[in-house]
Amino acid sequence: MCNFLEYKDEKVVYRRYASLFFVTGISSTDNELITLEIIHRFVEILDRYFGNVCELDLIFNFQKAYFVLDELIIAGEMQESSKKSVLRVVSQQDALEDGENGEKGWQEK
């Protein structure tokens, strides 16, 4: 099957990983294959971040999936293709959050 579908004046580029579909909408002039690989890079990064990612990780930590996506794509464009750079920034955020929780964790239940 073709991973590209033409929909009105736009194109849909999608990729399937087991039961999960990752779907993007691009303009008809965008490069389809490279979009396919943006999806793959996103999946790879999620995989590394969650450790063998599965559907449940994304459901129970949906906010994290958004944060990772924000590090990869802005304004519909690839922001950073280096896995290392993306993961570094995400773990920096997590460290900040962990620090806060460590200080005051006992207050909150």
Partner 1 sequence: MASNMRGLTVFIADIRNCRVRELEEKRINKEMANIRAKFKDGNLNGYQKKKYVCKLLYMYILGWDIDFGHMEAVNLISSNKYSEKQIGYLGVTLLMHENHDLARLVVNSIRKDLGEFNEIYNCLALHSIANIGGREMADSLANDVHKLLLSQNSKSFVRKKAALTLLRLYRKHPDVIPAADWAERVITLLDDSDLGITLCATSLIMALAQDNLEEYKGCYAKAVNRLSRIIIDKEYSLDYVYYKVPIPWLQVKLLRLLQYYPASEDRDTRNDLHNILQTILNNSQDTQKNVQHNNAQNAVLFEAINLAIHLDTESQIVNQAAVLLGRFITAKETNVRYLGLETMAHLAACLDSLEPVKKHQDTILLSLRDKDISVRRRGLDLLYSMCDVTNAKVIVTELLRYLNIADYALREEMVLKIAILTERFATEYQWYVDIILQLISTAGDHVGEEVWYRVVQIVTNNEGLQEYASRTVLIHLKSPACHENLVKIGGYILGEFGHLISNVPGANPIEQFQAIHSKFGMCTLQTRALLLTTYFKFINLFPEIKGEILTVFNQYRHALDSELQQRASEYLSMATMPSEDLLQTVCEEMPPFPERESALLSRLHQKNSDTEDKRTWVPGSKEANKEREINLKTSFAQRNNSFEFKSKDESNGNGEADILSSLDKKWFGKLLYNNEGILYENDQLQIGLKSEYHSRLGRLALYFGNKTKENFISFTTVVENINDLIITTPQKPSTILAPASQTQQLFHIECQDVFYELPNIRISYISGKFHTICIKLPITLNKFMEPIQLNGPEFFARWKQIGGDQREKQIVFKSNVPINIQGIRKMISGFRYEVLEGVDTNPHNVVGASVLYTSEGGMIGCLLRLEPNVDTQMYRLTIRTTNNTVTNEFCKLLEQRLMNDLI
Q: How far is the CB of 23 from partner 1 (least distance, A)?
A: 15
Burial of 86 (0-12, 13-18, 19+ CB in 10 A): buried
Could you tell me if residue 78 is left (phi over 0), alpha (psi between -120 and 50 degrees) or otherwise beta? beta
Provide Rg for the chain, Cα atoms: 17
Three-state secondary-structure class, residue 19:
coil
Decide: is 108 part of the binding site for partner 1 (CB under 8 A). yes
Decide: is 2 part of the binding site for partner 1 (CB under 8 A). yes
Residue of the chain from 18, 19, 29, 52 that contacts partner 1 (CB under 8 A): 29
Binding mask 63-102 for partner 1 (x = CB under 8 A): xx-xx--x---xxxxxxxxxxxx---x--xxx-xxx-xx-
SS3 content of the chain, % helix, strand, coil (to 5): 55, 20, 20
Element (H, E) at 43: helix 32-50
Decide: is 40 part of the binding site for partner 1 (CB under 8 A). yes
Decide: is 34 part of the binding site for partner 1 (CB under 8 A). yes
Residues at the contact surface with partner 1, assessed by CB under 8 A: 1-6, 9, 27-34, 36-38, 40-41, 49-50, 59-64, 66-67, 70, 74-85, 89, 92-94, 96-98, 100-101, 105, 108
